[in-house]
Amino acid sequence: MENRPLASLQTELDRATAQMEQNLPAEMVKMFEQSIQQVKASAGAAGLKAGAQAPDFSLTDQNGASMTLSELTVNGPVVLLFYRGVWCPFCNIALRAYQQASALFAEAGAQLVAISPQTPTYSASMKANNELGFPLLSDPRNEVAARYHLVFELPEALRGSYQSLGISLDEYHGDSLWKLPVPATYVIDRENMIRLAHVEADYKQRLEPSHVLDLLASRNDW
């Protein structure tokens, strides 16, 4: 596979972090950081590890079409991206970065798939606005994310802050659970085994596409 330089995803995320800290009240930023630390301390949201079998699932994409993980992995590795939603600037940045590397993933024989708890309507909007070429699957009630051990409930103290920013998860998700997935990146092979697992409660930190591409380039038996 040809070596092509990719823009640093983390550099762009750091810019967004600085902008957020500049625009939001300091107390709100502090609450967000405290929430991140609480999620990190939660064993229930630690995520499945490399070497584990990836739970199979069938979910609908932004157009309402059903997609099944085991049917995708028959055709080669799947890069599975769990993200929070269209309302999260860091998720938009991350998915755009993977889109920018999409040709390289295709050359590596890998398929990009993203999952969030938002409804297909919001996924369709996100896909169009970011010109994404890969499917955005909707995970009602975070049921698939829970099987990957990624789900946490947003603390009551933060819900008002989210709503003050125009983020009502009940509207985006179509439920009243106020639960989110921890952002995660998985590489899943043809046998549905997890070959790479990156789970990070700090949504301002994401795995660089280049790291995933390096793994795909180095594989020799899957």
Q: Average pLDDT in the 170-184 region?
A: 97
- Report the predicted TM-score, pTM, of the whole model to 2 decimal places: 0.95
Domains of the chain: 9-218 (3.40.30.10)
Average pLDDT in the chain: 96
Residue with structure tokens 């995933």? Answer: 212
Instruction: Please state, in angstroms and rounded to a whole number, the distance separating the CA atoms of residues 92 and 207.
Output: 14
Instruction: Please state, in angstroms and rounded to a whole number, the distance separating the CA atoms of residues 102 and 104.
Output: 5
Instruction: Please state, in angstroms and rounded to a whole number, the distance separating the CA atoms of residues 141 and 178.
Output: 9
| Length in residues, the chain | 222
Instruction: Please state, in angstroms and rounded to a whole number, the distance separating the CA atoms of residues 123 and 62.
Output: 5
pLDDT tens per residue, range 190-220: 999 999 999 999 999 999 999 999 999 999 8
pLDDT tens per residue, range 22-48: 999 999 999 999 999 999 998 788 999
